[in-house]
Amino acid sequence: MLDEGDDIHPLFHGAPSTTEFKKLRKRIVRQTREAIDTYGMIERGARWLVCLSGGKDSYTLLAVLHELQWRGLLPVDLLACNLDQGQPGFPTTVLPEFLSAKGIAHRIEYRDTYSIVMDKVPAGRTYCALCSRLRRGNLYRIAREEGCSAVVLGHHRDDILETFFMNLFHGGRLAAMPPKLVNEEGDLFLYRPLAFVAETDCEKFARAMNYPIIPCDLCGSQDGLQRQQVKQILDGWETRSPGRRQIMFKALMNARASHLLDPALFDFAGLAADDGISSDFREIPQ
């Protein structure tokens, strides 16, 4: 695909022509395609609800998915969706104008979940859990109304790592954000195609494209959030040992059940010295 004239999607009009940006864009597209292929996200002819918050990550997600579709590498229909949650000061015209100008099929939905969160969450507590739960419920509803089979989110590699360490430090479990899962009702997929993409790359990409970023002041107004604390720890590790984040992320894709302590994942009780099979591949009896 040539980045000239009619051969480029409107989302990329005005893209920098520098070698550095082209490498960045190519890397993000490649990593997104790898995640989609690795976790089997494509159902030919399906329709995806692509969630757009107005942050750097969701803009990057929207652009990359449309590039893959433009190239014929993503045979699904895409519908961008923004859920306006009634947060005071939210610039309601930014996303509709942006999406219309770029020719992106979209739906803007208003639901005042902000008032519910402010009413239900005690002073001093974080809003994120309830806010995200209400948002997710509305997105599932919209996906069903629009005939979508999947809700697609812009969580990236660093979000997944931070969630892993939050669960480790505060939840007492080894768990992260899966790139693909099925909702509790069993009728919708939830995808995270940016699972392999670094946050810094999303930031560089969105800034270079000059997308109209909308900050989340609801969460950003609270100090001492667990996620921010974890992010600071990871930032420190990355500063002292560049590449540490990527190494830790690879570990999430290289789990060895026999070298952990969960008897529900590995049959320690049934392990015998003369089995003649590698302990790493011993299955739990069904």
Q: Print burial letters for 201-224: b (CB count within 10 Å at least 16), e (below 16).
A: bbbbbbebbebeebebebeeeeee
Give the tens place of pLDDT for each residue, 184-211. Answer: 999 999 999 999 999 999 999 999 999 9
Q: Poorest-confidence range of 24-28, 42-46, 143-147, 273-277?
A: 273-277
Q: What is the mean pLDDT of residues 261-265?
A: 92
Beta bridge partners of 51: 81
Neighbours of 284 (CB within 10 A): 12
Please report which confidence band the pLDDT of residue 276 belongs to, taking 50, 70 and 90 as the band edges: low
**Residues listed for the chain:** 286
Higher pLDDT, residue 254 or 112:
254
Whether residue 213 is predicted with pLDDT greater than 50 in this model: the reply is: yes
Backbone angles phi, psi at 47, to 5 degrees: -120, 130
pLDDT at 86: 80
Classified as helix, coil or strand, 80 is: strand
Confidence check: pLDDT of 116 > 90: no
> Which tokens sit at 173?
């479990």
Residue 47: the pLDDT is 97
Tell me the mean pLDDT in the region 161-175: 93
Q: In this predicted structure, what is the pLDDT of residue 124?
A: 66
Average pLDDT value for residue range 25-35? 96
For the stretch 53-106, pLDDT in tens is 999 999 999 999 999 999 899 999 999 999 888 888 888 899 999 999 999 999
- In the chain, DSSP finds a helix count (H) and a strand count (E) of 10, 6
Question: Can you tell me the distance from the alpha carbon of 27 to that of 162, in angstroms, rounded to the nearest whole number?
Answer: 22
pLDDT in tens, 222-250: 444 788 889 999 999 999 999 999 999 99
pLDDT at 225: 74
pLDDT band at 284 (very low <50, low <70, confident <90, very high): low
Q: What are phi and psi of 161, to 5 degrees?
A: -65, -45
Using DSSP's 3-state secondary structure scheme, residue 197 falls into coil
- Cα–Cα distance, 239 to 170 (Å, whole number): 24
H/E stretch holding 23: helix 19-38
Superfamily of domain 5-251: HUPs (3.40.50.620)
Distance (Å, whole) CA 55 – CA 212: 8
Q: What is the pLDDT of residues 138-164, one digit of tens each?
A: 999 999 999 999 999 999 999 999 999
Q: Which amino acid is at 137?
A: G
Arithmetic mean of pLDDT over the chain: 88
pLDDT number for residue 175: 94
Q: Which amino acid is at 153?
A: L
Q: Enumerate the domain spans of the chain.
A: 5-251, 255-286
Q: What's the pLDDT band for 115 if we cut at 50, 70, 90?
A: confident
Which candidate, 209, 192, 119, places its Cα nearest to that of 156? 192
